[in-house]
């Protein structure tokens, strides 16, 4: 009996250990809006520097997703600099710092892409950074995505924003709509495990079926629910395709042509009045 109990205990420990070290592949889609601020004198802010990055549950830096700043504003993202190990000195000398696989650029304005303010979409593939290439999928658990922003409101008043949102990376799909603040709002976090997105396409009565996956670029979307617009993002959050319906459609087959994009993983985002649903697809060449 003791041997049986010991063996059972070993099995439980092994299973527990396996779950603790699970590395579920998937995609986090993080959307938020940063309204263009207005000062009391009605001067509007037109420039903004900001960074978005991922940390694990203990506050350890994982990966930068985007960083927009210039040498004259290299001290305006102090928390990101501290977390990523990037000092103002290294920024000023033109170093890319800890921004592998991230979107980077100079200070954002009303004429840049992305713009200084407005709606933002960031995606994370669940991986860390190793060397000069995309790293490995991190272990499942609690993670936090941070936004740091600094801008001049047009009246020489410098404002700083730092806000973070917690989510769970794991085998279960998760959609969160946490409360933001005055400067960062309309927040949505959607974690979609890769295996789950495939299983959804194979369910007996699916709401959305996307096929073929993978594809050389042409995807068919069988949608039973209403669809008002389609957007496709790469894993850096850049829109590579979008289609607005003249009128909402339902119970129909739509086509998305991604034959002009490079091979890789993309997020097809379907929107209606009830919200947004995201599906990861693979383009092969």
User: Is there a single domain that holds both residue 44 and residue 97?
Assistant: yes
Across the range 224-233, mean pLDDT stands at: 86
User: Is there a single domain that holds both residue 185 and residue 228?
Assistant: no
Task: State the pLDDT at residue 54.
Answer: 96
Burial call 106-134: b when 16+ CB within 10 Å, e when fewer: ebbeeeeebbbbeebbbbbbbbbbeeeee
Task: State the pLDDT at residue 23.
Answer: 83
Number of domains in the chain: 2
For residue 8, is it within any domain?
A: no
Q: Where are the beta strands (DSSP E) in the chain?
A: 26-34, 47-56, 61-68, 103-105, 118-124, 127-130, 133-137, 141-152, 158-169, 174-176, 185-193, 208-211, 218-223, 227-234, 239-249, 252-257, 264-272, 275-283
193, 228, 258: which is the final residue of a domain?
Answer: 193
Identify the CATH number of the domain in which residue 265 sits: 2.60.40.1930
For residue 243, is it within any domain?
A: yes
Q: Which domain holds residue 232?
A: 203-283
138, 158, 193: which is the final residue of a domain?
Answer: 193
Give the best-scoring range by mean pLDDT among 4-18, 87-101, 126-140: 126-140
Half-sphere exposure of 147 (CA within 13 A, CB side): 22
For residue 1, is it within any domain?
A: no
Conformation bin of residue 268: beta by default, left when phi > 0, alpha when psi is -120 to 50: beta
User: Is there a single domain that holds both residue 271 and residue 160?
Assistant: no
The larger pLDDT score, comparing residue 246 to residue 138, is at 138
- Could you please report the per-residue DSSP string of 97-126? -S-TT-EEES-B-TTSSS-SSEEEEEEE-S
User: Is there a single domain that holds both residue 99 and residue 171?
Assistant: yes
Is 165 a residue whose pLDDT tops 50? yes
User: Is there a single domain that holds both residue 118 and residue 74?
Assistant: yes
For residue 275, is it within any domain?
A: yes
For residue 178, is it within any domain?
A: yes
Q: How far apart are the first and last CA of the chain?
A: 58
Tokens for 265?
A: 């993983």
Under the banding of pLDDT at 50, 70 and 90, the label for residue 200 is: very low
């Amino acid at each position: 009996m003791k041997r049986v109990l010991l063996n059972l205990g070993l099995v439980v420990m092994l299973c527990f250990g396996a779950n603790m070290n699970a590395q579920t592949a998937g995609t986090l889609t993080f959307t938020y809006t940063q309204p263009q601020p207005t000062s009391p004198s009605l001067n509007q802010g037109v420039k903004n520097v900001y960074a978005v990055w991922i940390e694990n549950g203990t506050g350890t830096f994982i990966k930068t997703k985007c960083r927009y700043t210039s040498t004259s504003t290299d001290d305006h993202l102090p928390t990101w600099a501290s977390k990523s190990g990037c000092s103002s000195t290294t920024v000023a000398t033109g170093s890319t710092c800890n921004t592998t696989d991230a979107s980077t650029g100079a200070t954002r304005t009303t004429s840049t892409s992305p713009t200084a303010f407005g709606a933002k979409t960031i995606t994370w593939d669940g991986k860390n950074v190793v060397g000069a290439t995309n790293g490995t999928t991190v272990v499942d658990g609690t993670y936090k995505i941070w936004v740091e922003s600094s801008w001049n409101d047009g009246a020489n008043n410098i404002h700083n924003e730092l806000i973070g949102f917690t989510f769970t990376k794991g085998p279960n799909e998760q959609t969160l709509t946490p409360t933001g603040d005055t400067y960062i709002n309309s927040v949505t976090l959607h974690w979609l495990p890769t295996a789950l997105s495939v299983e959804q396409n194979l369910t007996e009565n699916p709401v959305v079926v996307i096929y073929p996956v993978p594809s050389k670029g042409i995807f068919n979307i069988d949608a039973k629910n209403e669809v008002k617009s389609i957007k496709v993002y790469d894993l850096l959050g850049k829109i590579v395709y979008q289609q607005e319906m003249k009128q909402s459609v339902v119970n129909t087959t739509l086509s998305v042509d991604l034959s002009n994009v490079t091979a890789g993983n993309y997020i097809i985002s379907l929107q209606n009045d009830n919200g947004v649903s995201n599906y990861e697809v693979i383009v092969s060449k």
